[in-house]
Amino acid sequence: MSTSLTSLPVLSLVVFLPLVGALALLFIRSSAERALKWTAMLTALLTFAVSLILFFGWRVGEAGYQFVEQRPWVPDVGIGYHLGVDGISLFLVLLTTFLMPLTLLFSWDTVKDRLKAYLVLMLLLETAMLGVFVALDLVLFFVFFEASLIPMYFLVGRWGGPRRVYAALKFFIFTATGSALMLAAILVLGYLHQQQTGRWSFDLLDLYSVVIPTGLAPWLFLAFTLAFAIKVPLFPFHTWLPDAHVEAPTAGSVILAGILLKMGTYGLLRFSATLFPAETYRFTPLLMALAVVGILYGGLVALVQKDVKSLVAYSSVAHLGFVVLGLFSLTAQGVSGAVLQMVNHGLSTGALFLLVGFIYERRHTRLLSEFGGLWKVMPVYAAIFLIVTLSSAGLPGLNGFVGEFTILVGAMQASRFFAVLGTLGIIVAAWYLLWAFRQVFQGPVTNPANQSLKDLHWREVLTVAPIVVLFFVIGLFPGLFLERINPSVEALLSQVNQRALAVQAEPQPQALSLVKLVQRN
């Protein structure tokens, strides 16, 4: 089976099917809403189905890239069309293709304004995001990375809330600033490759062999890392996120929190860490510190939010702090946990935004103070909300625990100080989540507007049910995921370690001492 499958350009299919769907939409009349919706939905479902080939056709136990496609694109400057997935990107691809049909299902009846443009943008966004996770050429990666900004900008700016223009711009400028620096760094890397081998290349695997001058390396590392840190967002670059989430339409929030933010954490691991191993070790204390601040700060600020969406946004800052903490623990548990936690956060937070969307459609408000006692009025909604809340709070048995706990296990080996502070985050997380649940669902029904709210429609249940099922699958049988993630993570870590040690062998006293320092801890 695998031979016939691998001869198919599966990755290209997955990445560009949504684009094809978007083009198809252009030929449908704007007034044919059903046709538009079904075309978009079938495209997303087909993309998901094809992406499942990646999971079932996976060669478990292999660390390297699978389903690789490599052909020259602009050969004269060494830009290649190089795609591949490994255990690190596999589940991010699947998360994207999995969430997309669900967000379209949510949008089924809720988006009425300029439906066609909306659907086209959603599908374009999917192609861009998928491209980010599978591109192995830095220029190709950058093109997808930037391309994902544009549809999101319009989704927030056109279909968003009252301050949508401000929020969309802030989102755009913030991230574009980071990526401008990254582009410069990418160009420098390609230039260095040309200098050292006489051949231009932007291929990630080629660039590993580039020797980066000592003085330059930290700057390049910081350029990449800043771009990704903004995207994550890592404290203190997070202020665009609450604005963007509060103003974004529900589907936009789901995609933004569920997938777009993962481009940042994915980039940190795939590019920052592997291209600049010595610098990674060198800046580990700083990054772990920012991660831990994010965990505690995000949690405490989430506690006092009045709007559910900004509460979830700040909780994302905290959750992604965990991911970054795990990544820069540079241990097997920390990094594998972080990769899994990227998926977990996408599912939990995605589900939270969907649930907030359901209630917003009913009440057109998201203020916590507007609610109370909903458990009585909407028992099914309350039950699902509770499970999602618990998943987000990292309750063992559900998905969030597996990622969070292993991240902290990894962090404990790298730095007890940061790990202990990070673990305090689990108290804060329970606090803001249960406080939100308390305000919305418990107590008496005081607001007459809530008295006769309808419980979830079957289509709404269908929108979140697949996610809830996955909570249990990942929480109880994480092996299905970890057996695919682990080999790639271990390979990546040993590569980073070896190359950091190689740098250490060169006369670079500063890097040397820090590598030793980190390893001793």
Partner 1 sequence: MLDYAWLIFVPPLAALLVNAFFGRRLGKPAAGYLGAVAVGLSFLVALGIFFGLLGLPAEERSHTVTLWSWIHIGNFRPDFALLLDPLSSLMALVVTGVGFLIHVYSVEYMKLDDEHHQLDARRYARYFVFLNFFIVAMLILVLANNLVLLYLGWEGVGLASYLLIGFWFHKPSAADAGKKAFLVNRVGDFGMAVAIMLIFAAVGAQAGSLAFTDLYRVIQQSAPLLAGVASTVTLLLLLAATGKSAQIPLWVWLPDAMEGPTPVSALIHAATMVTAGVYMTVRMSPLFELAGNTLTWVAWVGALTALMAATIALTKTDLKRILAYSTISQLGYMFLGVGVGGYVAAMFHLTTHAFFKALLFLAAGSVMHALHGELDINKMGGLRAKLPTTYRTFLIGAAALAGFPLLSGFFSKDAILVATFEHHAYLLYAIGLVTALLTAVYSFKMVFVPFWGQPRDRKLFDHAHESPALMTLPLWVLAALSVVGGLVNLPFVATLEHWLEKLVALGPVGKPEHPALAVELALLAVSALVALGGIWLAYRAYVQQPDLAVRIRERIKPLHTLAANGYYFDWAYNKLVEGLWAFSRFLAGAVDQQSIDAAVNGLARAFGWLGSRTSRLETGLVSLYALSLFVGLVVVLGYFLATAIIGR
Q: By CB under 8 A, what part of segment 96-155 binds partner 1?
A: 139, 146, 149-150, 153
Q: Which of 14, 41, 23 is nearest to 106 (CA)?
A: 41
Q: How far is the CB of 61 from partner 1 (least distance, A)?
A: 13
CA-CA-CA-CA torsion for 151, 154, 157, 158, nearest 10 degrees?
-130
Stretch 469-488 residues interacting with partner 1 (CB under 8 A)? 476-479, 482-483, 486
Q: How far is the CB of 1 from partner 1 (least distance, A)?
A: 26
Q: How far is the CB of 492 from partner 1 (least distance, A)?
A: 13
**157 or 267, CB closer to partner 1?**
157
Q: How far is the CB of 32 from partner 1 (least distance, A)?
A: 31
**64 or 397, CB closer to partner 1?**
397
Q: How far apart are CA 43 and CA 47, in angstroms?
A: 6
**43 or 486, CB closer to partner 1?**
486
Q: Which of 107, 179, 315, 399 binds partner 1 (CB under 8 A)?
A: 179
Owner of token pair 């290649």: 80
Q: How far is the CB of 518 from partner 1 (least distance, A)?
A: 15
Q: How far is CA 262 from CA 22, 62, 92, 364, in A?
A: 23, 23, 8, 29
444 is a site residue for partner 1 (CB under 8 A): yes
How many binding residues for partner 1 (CB under 8 A)?
A: 78
Q: What are phi and psi of 398, to 5 degrees?
A: -110, 175
Binding part of the chain for partner 1, among 38-46, 89-97, 284-292, 371-379 by CB under 8 A, reads 371-379
Q: How far apart are CA 221 and CA 223, in angstroms?
A: 5
**13 or 293, CB closer to partner 1?**
293
Q: How far is the CB of 324 from partner 1 (least distance, A)?
A: 18
Stretch 383-442 residues interacting with partner 1 (CB under 8 A)? 390, 395-397, 401-402, 405-406, 408-409, 412-413, 416, 419-420, 423-424, 426-427, 430-431, 434-435, 438, 441-442
379 is a site residue for partner 1 (CB under 8 A): yes
CA-CA-CA-CA torsion for 31, 32, 34, 36, nearest 10 degrees?
-100
Stretch 191-210 residues interacting with partner 1 (CB under 8 A)? 200
**41 or 189, CB closer to partner 1?**
189
Handedness of CA 417, 420, 422, 427 (dihedral sign): negative
Q: Which of 103, 333, 391, 504 binds partner 1 (CB under 8 A)?
A: 333
H or E element: which one contains 136?
Answer: none
**Cβ distance 356 to 312 under 8 Å?**
yes
**253 or 333, CB closer to partner 1?**
333
Largest CA distance in the chain: 74
**50 or 169, CB closer to partner 1?**
169
Q: How far is the CB of 47 from partner 1 (least distance, A)?
A: 26
Q: How far is the CB of 431 from partner 1 (least distance, A)?
A: 6
Strand partners, 109: none
Q: How far is the CB of 475 from partner 1 (least distance, A)?
A: 9
**163 or 506, CB closer to partner 1?**
163
Query: Side chain identity at 246, as an amino acid letter?
Result: V
**156 or 275, CB closer to partner 1?**
156
Q: How far apart are CA 57 and CA 35, in angstroms?
A: 33
CB atoms under 10 Å from CB of 11, counted, come to 26
Stretch 13-52 residues interacting with partner 1 (CB under 8 A)? none
Non-local (6+) Cβ contacts of 177 within 8 A are: 230
**215 or 444, CB closer to partner 1?**
444
CB atoms under 10 Å from CB of 445, counted, come to 17
Q: Which of 11, 373, 460, 464 binds partner 1 (CB under 8 A)?
A: 373
**Cβ distance 190 to 198 under 8 Å?**
no
344 is a site residue for partner 1 (CB under 8 A): no
DSSP class per residue in 32-71: -HHHHHHHHHHHHHHHHHHHHHHHHT--TT--S-EEEEEE
